[in-house]
Structure 1
Amino acid sequence: MSMSSCYQHKLSEKLTILNDRGRGVLIRIYNIKKTCSDPKSKPPFLLEKSMESSVKYISKKFPNIDVRSSTQHLGPVHKEKVEIVRFLTNYYQSFVDVMEFRDHVYELLNTIDACQCHFDINLNFDFTRSYLDLIVTYTSVILLLSRIEDRRVLIGMYNCGNRCSPRFRPVTRSNSLPSDPSFARLGQMVLEYEHPLKKLIEEFGPHTKAVSGALLSLHFLFTRRNQGAEQWRSAQLLSLISAPPTMINPASSDTMACEYLSLEVMERWILIGFLLCHGCLNANPQCQKLWKLGLQGSLYITLIREEVLQVHKVTEDLFGSLKGYGKRVTDIKESKEYVVNNSGQFHWQRRQFLRIAVKELDTVLMDEPGLLGPKALLAFLALSFVRDEVNWLIRHAENVTKTKTPEDYVDPYIAELLFLLEEVRSLIQKHTKVIQRYHLQYLARFDALVLSDTIQNLSVCPEEESIIMSSFVSTLSSLNLKQVDTGEKFDFSGLRLDWFRLQTYTSVNKAPMHLYENPDLAKIMNLIVFHSRMLDSVEEILLPVGAVAQAVLADLQPPFPSLVVFQVVEESSFLTLDMLESCFPYVLLRNAYREVSRAFYLSRVPANAH
């Protein structure tokens, strides 16, 4: 594929849009599953006695339902056709959106393969992350779709009602009753995904080279993030006072964006990616090593909210049906045994270390908030590590299997860790201007100069890429401190999107300039992206940390249930039970934080001052 056509394909824009659309589709499919699994919220037609024969007939004959000659079975549907169409339109349209999302994902993955793109999380971070995110989101949508037991009935009943209703049926000269234009393809898609993993593996076979390449680039980062508490302690992780002379030196890295990347996200990429493209496991020892490391981290990976994938069981069942995978099945069994026997204690020790390390970090930053300028990265690292550990505990405490040490999954100190997380987050929010002033000067006085020198030293620089990079230097050089003092709202989203574009341009096989041949450019640009986020996206980076609260409800340990005060406001019927449930953890955490904060305060105030 020519370079000009790769420019025209707009890979960065399509990945951004499709990932956003995929998340929306996933949430809607989740809501349909949640609604249909509860008799109280299930569509009434599926529960009515008079509809029983119609439901059974539609489910059995789907998608080849003869509406005209099956009045005996579909009589009740004929009678309630208008109401059925009105009620099921949103359900049906959500299923159509899944089909359209699938079509667009197919097209984009094939285009990326045709361009022979090179993925490396350490260089083209945004490109690699978006690619892996799309694969995981698409897989999650399909797996969740297959878990909706009533999917055939919902789609089939809507189509029957639509064909019978003059209000919705298009006027034709024929006496036949036309189906919705999407129904035939939608019905075929539902049949294809009766066994979703087998179909997904068939689809992703041609993409194995690109997917495995992207996953292998995670190896060093994933191995480092899987270190135990002893290694963290030896490295003095998160400590500001371990080396006083370097306290005001900027905390930096060659791979800034990777540093606070969620461990749970990386596990999902690795385990789902190698599940879909398992052919490389027998052919490449490095793939096998990374896959086994991923299997030793968790028993469950999250698809969305409480929907999880029991990864060892699913992978073992699949590989057990394939020839030549006996050794891989043995690997899975050994990894599962390792997780059951060791991971509880491993994560308990990490949480114990984090309580001490984050408390120290919080104390120092409280006394010297100016350090949030050069050491902002450490604060975000602390939040990222705490978030990962809390999420791991909740995910496994809810689904704990037989283990000799169940106490490892019950942490009476989790509230303190959550309190510290909130303390650091509040510090960052309170001193945002300190962070902005520091990083604005960094961008204008250091990053702009280094980037300019890097551009001049490039051996090859095509016109399109040159224009983009020159605009970066111009944007950064124009920054000044008055913008912070006057409260100007910064927006570097355009710069970051242009860098994303540049990553795609320089990652295709026929590009005149390759990013992997110019790692210094990737290094300085990834640094610039982080610094720009410190000016305009601090709240956005903090959002996933706040999301920790979503799953805390089920895992609050005594005495916290006694601290809970449920405050439910009367709402319209549109406010479903599911929506209310998603609000409860935030109320619980707020109350828990208040109690812990009060306890901490009272413990520090002298007795005679009470």
Structure 2
Amino acid sequence: MHQPLCKYRPDGRTDARLSKCRNGNDNQTGQTKLVNGWCSAAYCGVRSGASGRNPHAIMSRSMAYQHKLAEKLTILNARGAGVLVRINHIKKVCTDTKLRPHFLTEKAMEPAIKHINKKFPNIDYRGNIHHLSAIQKQKSEMLNALTTYYHSFLDVMEFRDHVYELLNTIDACQCFFNITVNFGFTKGYLDLIVTYTSVILMLSRIDDRKALVGMYNCAHEMSNGTSDSAYPRLGQMFVDYEQPWKKLMEEFGPHTRSVTEALLSLQLVYPRRNLPVVQWRSAQLLSLLSNPATMLSPAHCDTIPCEYLPMEVMERWIIIGFLLCHSSLNSNQASQDLWKMGLCSGLYITLIRDEALNIHKVTEDIFVSLKGYNKRIADIKESREHVIANCGAMHRERRHYLRGALKELSKVLEDEPGLLGPKALFVFMALSFSRDEVLWLLRHSDNVPKTKSPEDFVDSQMAELLFYMQKLRALMSKYSRVVQRYHLQYLAQFDALALNDTMQNMNVCPEEESILMTSFVSTLSALTVKQVEAGEEFDFRALRLDWLRLQAYTSASKAPLPLKDYPDLAKIMNMTEFHTKMLDSMEELLHETSDLSTLCFYPRPFEKMFSHSCEDVVMQRYLIAFPLVCSHFSHCAHPMCPEETTANEKRSLRLCVAFLEEIARQTSTVVLEICAEQCNLNDQLLPKHCARTISTAKNKKLKKPVPKKGEVQKEKPGAESQRKDRAIVTTMDKLHLSLTELCTSLGHCDQFSVWAHTIIPAEFLIAQLETRFTKVILQMVSYNKATQEIARPSDLLAGIRAYTASLHTVSCYVNVDIARLTKNVLLQQTQPLDSQGEQTITTLYTNWYLEGLLRHASSALIVHCPTMHCFINQPIENAQSFRADEYSDILEMQALAELIGPYGLKFLSENLIWHITSQVTELKKLVVENMDILVQMRANFDKPEMMPNLQKRLPASESVLKRMTIIGVILSFRAMTQDMLADVMHKHCPYLMGPIECLRDLVSPETDLKVTLSVFELATAAGLSCNIDPSLVAALDRMRTDSSSVEEEYKLTCLLLVYIAVSLPTLALDPNSYYSRENGGHQNNIHCLATAVNQLLAAMLTVQQKNIEQHLKEFLLMASSTLLQLGQNVEAVESKNRDSIYLLLHMIVEESPFLSQDMLESCFPYALLRNAYREVYKTSIITMG
């Protein structure tokens, strides 16, 4: 419930609230205004009409009201925390060679720094100018750079002044301290002492403090003509604290009574909290199931705030408190017992973050210099030995117990969240106890003592404890409304009534105290459940501050209402304070009891904890706790030190990302091992392995041969699934168990925040799987550039399908989009390079088919076989290391189209066309060299008496045909890939292929050329064949240079037609030009000339926008004329393969969309073709399967 800024009282004064008066200014001026101007926000002065009262009581009470002890404690503790963070930051900066001010590392500055350190603080800046000349040169820059450091040290001095003043005031008021009674007041007092001591100790750890202050003041005097006004006091403070402990003990001598009283009150709390695990276990600590009858009863005790008070905090109070005020250790047995118990708690306590204090060493060093402390030194040594021998095992057992207790607690509360209301205290106790143990191990694992059992300082099961801490925090946040509703009713229906009854039973109740307590009752009584249902935000900070004020008023000596005489009031108010925090400060309380932001400053021990947990399979499901803990790290930021925010943020994100990447890496490793095994099992079922089975089945009627000795009979696929004993755990069982655990960890939460960044754990797994799956695919390709070996596309496709099917099972464990993952990976494989810049299967297969297959085909070592739609090896010696048909048949081309898709085949096509254009360039050169002869042959091709002489003058006919054959082979291979792409496209998206085919069929010779090429480009991308190849047209168009004219290009094209036509007869001279019926082509691949002539010449004429049909008719006439001359030649050499060459002319017409059989018959007798077919088929050996 929101409290008003000021509540009017009967006497006309106001009850102002701390929460409304908070200035929020972090500098000392703002603090001073708050402290010195607190009268406007608190009860002040001695009330008039106080006659008849005890004057000492009036004075003590007046002092308590006037000095606002509660307010000053609150502000100074907050301010001290900021100053401590600031000084710690300076210490870290000065010890880091990369971050420390460059003035401290410059060689030119060394004389000045030595002089300042030697003469500090009384430095004669004018008399020793030769030592300080380097500062003179950089005084402005130095003044700007060191201002922050100087003012930070001034903050320490001003903080010290205010602490002095407040401690003296508290002593003057003779305040009473008892942690179980005036908890807030006592805790604030002890916190202030420890914070102040930590600030002074951290200041003494800055080795460059004198140099920084001296250099600043020197630059200040050189710039302004005078020293800074605060420098003398600041310099003297540095001198005073050269031996910090000695000075601190002198300062706290007068405060021994108050400090000792406050510390001794811990006797009622600390020993009870510091019990061995045996007693925890016997008492069933934190267990809700140990006594089911009381499960619904509220967790209640007389010292609620003490139950979740961190042990580390109490140990700091005890160790530092008794070091400052050590006189009672020799005179008070209770002090000795408490002190020794603190010494036995561990070897280190924390000053701030990763700055620790070696308690035994420091205490022994201090007591050695004091008289009469020999027995205490012996106690210290005994305690150290006890810690080294026993502490590690004791805390290990505590962590073991807490793991089970937190697991039980979280399971019960998760099942019955309504219990979070009455048992909220159990949650905060469990979190506080666990945090103590985590931080204890953290402090000591970074400084492991020499012990016989170092394993006690290593915990491979830390992940489980951290996980259940996070889970309890999440439950409290998730069901906060449940907790609010319960405690609101508790406050209104119990606390308010109990407080009212306590007030009525008081013998004495001064007016100020009465007004405060009446305000408490009225505020609590006004609460209703409707406020929770309406989602109202509560704010009880003012009420809690009023309770702290009341503690200060009633703790003063001779107070009219001494709180120590009314323990019931303290008990009820402490309980009420806890209940109010359940309504408005639950997150703050969770932060107080379970914040692990300290881990941010122990990166190496934290990473070691993670690595140890990774090694334990049982801990894998809890590994997500480590990244989740990184979400605490933003709490370590402080407004007084914004400079460290960026570094802390980067460190937090680095740790979080490293943890998630490692979890994802382990998960992906397990996933891919399972996939690999499934791929192997799937491979056993492929048809290529069935030969052995078929052979066995065929010969099973024969007498079974006796197996050779030592020969192991091969198991059939599926034998791995047969089990004889369920207790036998296979490797796959272990992998699936590990996968379940790791996926449970990654799927624990969809997302969480680290600083201002949203972290999605599943995305790390997707990223890892994507990277690893890509590598696996490339490994399965098995491409060896040196030996030109590569996996068959069908085998790779089968492997990828097996992997993909196995990957989809991951989505059963964790919410990841495996379909998106596989699409991303496989789509990247259709590009030349993937997202990492690595080669893909598209590039590898493109390189292999170009270098391994087509290069051999161009030299006729491999033959294109139209009958089987593949390439086959020639039956010759020194054959290739692979069978061409195993990489180019229909099944393999379909697999290739499935693997690299339209994008990949487009890349392959572009590479093929590049090779074609290089051949075209060479052909044009040959045409240019023989242009005169070709012009004459074009004009006289119908004059048989002139052609033989012209043909003899025409060189390089074989070269032209060879290059055209290479082009034909490439285009034939490209046509095969296009056909298979069309099949794949029809299979996957028939609804898309139908409209594309309709568009292609609508194109006619009258259609605009640009439209025609656009439609053909679309059709070609889908694998459909077209009359004109748009890719080839575009490539040839790009070959045109600015210097070449259209007429010249057209002339070269026409003459190339002549060159090819008149060169055809020379093919008959090649003994490999015979036609193979089985293969459906010629043994030297010249049947590919048909494809080359039709597609290349059509593309070239399209570029020049000439009539294709007319020019192909001209080609047909010239080719027929020159081939008919073969019939007139009776030489055996030329006539041997004459019939095979005639068929080539028929193939050109048959494949051309622009020529017809009628055109062929008009210039070439059909009888010759018929006889040619009869002759070539007569020589073929026909075999019937």
TM-score (norm 1): 0.94
CA contact (8 A) 1:507 1:514 kept: yes
Look up the SS of the partner of 1:301 in the other structure: strand
- Look up the match of 1:181: 229
Look up the SS of the partner of 1:308 in the other structure: strand
CA contact (8 A) 1:560 1:592 kept: no
CA contact (8 A) 2:310 2:593 kept: no
Look up the SS of the partner of 2:229 in the other structure: coil
Report matched runs for 1:346-361 at 5 Å: 346-361=394-409
Paired amino acid for 2:507: S
1:301 aligns with 2:353: no
CA contact (8 A) 2:354 2:598 kept: no
Counting aligned pairs with the same residue, the percent is: 59
1:530 aligns with 2:578: yes
CA contact (8 A) 2:136 2:222 kept: yes
1:485 aligns with 2:543: no
Look up the SS of the partner of 1:393 in the other structure: helix
Deviations 1:405-435 (A, max 9, x none): 0000001000111001101110011000000
CA 1:96–1:602: 2 relative to 1, 3 Å: closer
1:283 aligns with 2:331: yes
CA 1:485–1:587: 2 relative to 1, 3 Å: farther
1:90 aligns with 2:148: yes
- Look up the match of 2:92: 34
- Look up the match of 1:599: 741
Cα distance in structure 1, aligned partners of 2:133 and 2:743: 69
Paired amino acid for 1:428: M
**How far is the alpha carbon of 1:576 from its aligned partner?**
5.5
1:141 aligns with 2:199: yes
1:108 aligns with 2:166: yes
Cα distance in structure 1, aligned partners of 2:536 and 2:662: 36
Cα distance in structure 1, aligned partners of 2:644 and 2:546: 41
CA 1:492–1:117: 2 relative to 1, 3 Å: same
**How far is the alpha carbon of 1:553 from its aligned partner?**
3.2
- Look up the match of 2:611: 558
Paired amino acid for 1:272: I
Deviations 1:364-422 (A, max 9, x none): 00100000011111111111111011011111000111010000000100011100110
- Look up the match of 2:478: 430
1:192 aligns with 2:240: yes
> For 1:580, which of 629, 650, 666 is the aligned residue?
650
CA contact (8 A) 2:460 2:613 kept: no
Cα distance in structure 2, aligned partners of 1:79 and 1:159: 15
CA contact (8 A) 1:411 1:557 kept: no
Paired amino acid for 1:581: R
CA contact (8 A) 2:469 2:594 kept: no
Report matched runs for 1:167-566 at 5 Å: 169=224, 177-545=225-593, 547-551=595-599, 553-555=603-605, 556-558=609-611
Deviations 1:19-73 (A, max 9, x none): 0110010001000000000111110111111111111111111111111121100
Deviations 1:548-603 (A, max 9, x none): 25326333242557989999xxxx99866455335555556777999899727759
Look up the SS of the partner of 1:303 in the other structure: strand
CA contact (8 A) 1:362 1:423 kept: yes
**How far is the alpha carbon of 1:76 from its aligned partner?**
1.0
Runs of at least 5 residues in structure 1 that lack an aligned partner in the other structure: 170-176
Look up the SS of the partner of 1:218 in the other structure: helix
**How far is the alpha carbon of 1:3 from its aligned partner?**
1.7
Larger Rg: 2
> For 2:102, which of 44, 49, 59 is the aligned residue?
44
Cα distance in structure 2, aligned partners of 1:94 and 1:154: 11
**How far is the alpha carbon of 1:6 from its aligned partner?**
1.9
CA 1:6–1:597: 2 relative to 1, 3 Å: farther
Cα distance in structure 2, aligned partners of 1:502 and 1:426: 35
Cα distance in structure 1, aligned partners of 2:80 and 2:739: 39
Cα distance in structure 1, aligned partners of 2:474 and 2:114: 55
CA contact (8 A) 1:238 1:382 kept: yes
**How far is the alpha carbon of 1:331 from its aligned partner?**
0.2
Cα distance in structure 2, aligned partners of 1:74 and 1:357: 65
Look up the SS of the partner of 2:356 in the other structure: strand
Paired amino acid for 2:741: A
TM-score (norm 2): 0.49
CA contact (8 A) 2:428 2:593 kept: no
> For 2:72, which of 14, 34, 55 is the aligned residue?
14
CA 1:576–1:369: 2 relative to 1, 3 Å: closer
Cα distance in structure 2, aligned partners of 1:148 and 1:67: 23
> For 2:183, which of 125, 131, 141 is the aligned residue?
125
Aligned Cα RMSD in Å? 2.5
Deviations 1:130-183 (A, max 9, x none): 000000000000000000000000000000000111xxx2xxxxxxx3210100
Cα distance in structure 2, aligned partners of 1:211 and 1:495: 27
Deviations 1:414-464 (A, max 9, x none): 011100110111001100000000000000011111100000101110000
**How far is the alpha carbon of 1:533 from its aligned partner?**
0.4
CA contact (8 A) 1:419 1:597 kept: no
CA contact (8 A) 2:459 2:612 kept: no
CA contact (8 A) 1:36 1:148 kept: yes
Cα distance in structure 2, aligned partners of 1:140 and 1:597: 47
Paired amino acid for 1:239: S
Cα distance in structure 1, aligned partners of 2:535 and 2:330: 57
Paired amino acid for 1:599: E
Cα distance in structure 2, aligned partners of 1:600 and 1:467: 59
CA 1:131–1:575: 2 relative to 1, 3 Å: closer
Runs of at least 5 residues in structure 2 that lack an aligned partner in the other structure: 1-58, 616-622, 632-641, 668-737, 749-808, 814-1185
**How far is the alpha carbon of 1:503 from its aligned partner?**
0.2
Look up the SS of the partner of 1:217 in the other structure: helix
Cα distance in structure 1, aligned partners of 2:218 and 2:537: 53
Look up the SS of the partner of 1:506 in the other structure: helix
- Look up the match of 2:1114: none
**How far is the alpha carbon of 1:321 from its aligned partner?**
1.1
Range that drifts further, 544-553 or 253-262: 544-553
